[in-house]
Each structure stands twice: as structure tokens, then as C-alpha cells.
Amino acid sequence: MLSFIQSPATPFKPLFNFKTLKPPPKPHFSKPIQSVLQWNRKPQLAGETPRVVVITSGKGGVGKTTTTANVGLSLARFGFSVVAIDADVGLRNLDLLLGLENRVNYTVVEVLNGDCRLDQALVRDKRWSNFELLCISKPRSKLPLGFGGKALVWLVEALKSREEGSPDFILIDCPAGIDAGFITAITPANEAVLVTTPDITSLRDADRVTGLLECDGIRDIKMIVNRVRTDMIKGEDMMSVLDVQEMLGLALLGVIPEDSEVIRSTNRGYPLVLNRPPTLAGLAFEQAAWRLVEQDSMKAVMVEEEPKKRGFFSFFGG
């Protein structure tokens, strides 16, 4: 079933006003949708744009950058304009995952110094033209402590007021830890996605980070449980997703299964969600992006079971 969405529904108005022979004023839409859709349905954007989302975890290596890259590209494929910011001042990785490392010439530090404009520092992805990357700094440059938060706030304001329009989503890839980098990254954010794995160390750090986010005024926090192994959960060697939720008390945005394709996609610089056919992890990222757009959360999780034993006549379709 194809659906062509051209503009939000408006009451019918005549083309011309016959009394004055003047065309009626054009209605002002919040955001004209320009893409012609070929899939069954499109997620309905909820909340005010731009939605500034920080993707954080506390513990390093749980999949923040992978989540940022895949969710960001999924949002771009849905037709939304996305700006992904790598807020790690010292260690930059998001450009590697996206395969854009050779195209990063300017960063936010150069913009602040006056070496380039903001639009020159934005790297547009050639695969999806509505996805842009912005890095905070190059590895050896310094950003004064306490100044980074202000810089990010100015950055978001500048993106809102740019000529091609405000982006729909601004995703901020937060560095690990709860140090100055974390404080810088969460400064302009309105909502947060907490990435965690089902192990006790990650859960403890995630709980601490959630507390800091709530102290800073960010209340809309959802979690993504990454690197889930359903076979280990079945064998009770790993905490289940429901156990994780019980410990943290956060709404579930997505459950990403462990997938070796993640490493291959990192090596290629080709995010997982672009694979055809999609992998399990890629599907899960797309679903998480869908829920992020609609500000929804998971209502059920999948638990692995033993496959049904097929009888003799099952071969014939019984």
C-alpha cells in the first residue's frame, strides 16, 4: 500500500477569492514534508523541533557511537533532517563509523576561532543528503573547560536559525564518563537516550548518569539495552531486559541483539542500518529510531524459546 504524503491536512480553500480576485494567503505549515514515500507508513514526528537528544551511557564501550550513527541514519532515511555532533573533545570516533573521516576538515573549534563558518564545518553524507556530521574538535586541540557547554548552546541556536531551516533532530554523541566532556554534551539537550548493556558494571554507571541527567533538568530519558544475547538470557547467564528495566526504572526505547555485523560495518564505515537484507541489529536500530520519532517506548520484549518440534506431516504444511 503506497501513501503519498504531500502536506499536512488542511481544509479546502478556493484558489482565488472571487470578490477581490486575489489569491488567498498561503497557509503556514510547521514543516513541509518534501519526500515522496514508497513504504507503507512513516513515523509521525512528536515534540517540538529541533529535538536535541544526547546519547550517553557513563561506561565506555557499550555502543553509544554505534547507536548515534545507526539511529541518526535511520532518522535520515525516514526523511527527517539530522545533525549528528561528536561531542568527544579528545577522542573522535563518529566520523570513522560513518565512513566520513577523510571529509572532516573543520570542527567547532575552528568555527569558534573564526577560521571557517559553521556551514563549512558541517559534513554532509553523500548517501543521505539530509544527514550531517559535526565534530567538536580535532584530537590535539583544546577547548577551555566551562566554555564547551556555552559553545554547544550557541551551536544549537545557530543551527536553528540557519537558512536551510532548522534540523529535525540534533543527536549529540556524549563521551564516556561524567567529566567535563559529559557536562559539555548534556548542556543543550532536552532529552536523553541511555545506552547500557545487561551487565552489572554498566548498569551501575547508567544509574549514576541517569541521576546526573535528572539533576541537570533532563527528564525525558529512555534506554537502549545493547549487546543482548538471548541464548545467554535463556540459560540464565545474563540478565534479561526486564531485569535491567526493573533495576533502572527507565522506559525502553530499544533492545539491540549482539551482532558480529557491527564490527564489520565499523571496519567498512558503512552503518548497519544500510545493509540489505537488514540484520537483526539493524532492524532493532530502525525500530528504536521509529520509537524515538514518535516518543514511544517498547511495550513488550522478545524472549527466546525452544523451537517447536515438527511432526512427520509438517513437511506437507500441516
Chain positions 186 to 205 lying near another protein, rule: CB under 8 A, are: 187
Q: Which three cell numbers stand for residue 277?
A: 537484507
Binding segment for another protein (CB under 8 A), chosen from 52-60, 95-103, 154-162, 262-270, is: 154-162
**Smallest gap, in angstroms, from Cβ of residue 111 to another protein?**
6
> What DSSP character marks residue 184?
H
Question: Of residues 108-127, which lie at the interface with another protein (CB under 8 A)?
Answer: 111-120
φ/ψ of 238, rounded to 5, equals: -140, 145
DSSP string over 111-149? HHHTSS-HHHH-EE-SSSTTEEEEES--TT----TTTHH
Nearest to 107 by CA among 155, 165, 147, 55: 155
3-state secondary structure of 217: coil
Question: Of residues 213-252, which lie at the interface with another protein (CB under 8 A)?
Answer: 214-216, 230, 242, 245-246, 248-252
- In one-letter notation, the amino acid at residue 136 is I
Binding to another protein by residue 128, rule CB under 8 A? yes
- In one-letter notation, the amino acid at residue 158 is A
Binding to another protein by residue 36, rule CB under 8 A? yes
Binding segment for another protein (CB under 8 A), chosen from 13-21, 25-33, 45-53, 139-147, is: 139-147
Which x/- pattern, by CB under 8 A, does the window 245-274 give for another protein?
xx-xxxxx----------------------
Question: How deeply is 43 buried, as exposed, middle or buried, from its count of CB atoms within 10 A (0-12, 13-18, 19+)?
Answer: middle
Binding to another protein by residue 6, rule CB under 8 A? no
Binding segment for another protein (CB under 8 A), chosen from 6-14, 18-26, 95-103, 300-308, is: 300-308
**Smallest gap, in angstroms, from Cβ of residue 11 to another protein?**
29
> Which residue of 13, 103, 208, 268 would you call a contact of another protein, by CB under 8 A?
208
> Which residue of 150, 166, 191, 199 would you call a contact of another protein, by CB under 8 A?
150
Contacts of 51 (CB under 8 A, 6+ apart): 168, 169, 170, 190, 191
